Structure 1
Amino acid sequence: MAQQHAPRTGGIFLDPRGEDRSLRVTWHQESQLVVLSLWRDNVCAGTFRLAADEVPDLISLLRTGLDEAYDTARDRVRRVERPSRAG
């Protein structure tokens, strides 16, 4: 597996499928951009440039999805802990 170095300002997220897939996020303050790049086998497969002023919308979308996932998981736990008394 190739060694990956973290950007100075940003991060690397490993894909659970493995095969040396990752998402790299880097801030480019001088351009007011966040660059999202997809990597495989230490080769960049594609990039997306997000304007810094759009980052709050992305964060809000991710937060909403996370909240919904937590709500769904909590509902499942409640159903398991309190099975239906019908029947």
Structure 2
Amino acid sequence: DMDFRYDNSAWIHLPNFLHGAGHSLLQSSWRYETMMQGVIILMEDVVLFFGPFYASRIFKAFSLSALWIVNVSVVGFGLIVFLATFKR
């Protein structure tokens, strides 16, 4: 009949497992990187779509100097957040 004993030859399966684990970590990193690139592209499209509406409203309601102040403040805040969360 058939023998269903436990296969205790871990030395055969361990290299295959370790090789597969390394590749799965690379694939997870690749998937995360691809997802984040997609998010960045989506946010870029949103900014490029709504930017002219926002800029024309600020310019019309206030002035060009107010538009520059708001833009520099937003970029400065983003830079501060980036530097504060950047892993050293």
Superposition TM-score, scaled by structure 1 size: 0.40
More strand by share: 1
Determine which structure has more spread, i.e. the larger CA radius of gyration: 2
The one of the two structures with greater contact order (alpha-carbon pairs below 8 A, sep at least 6) is 1
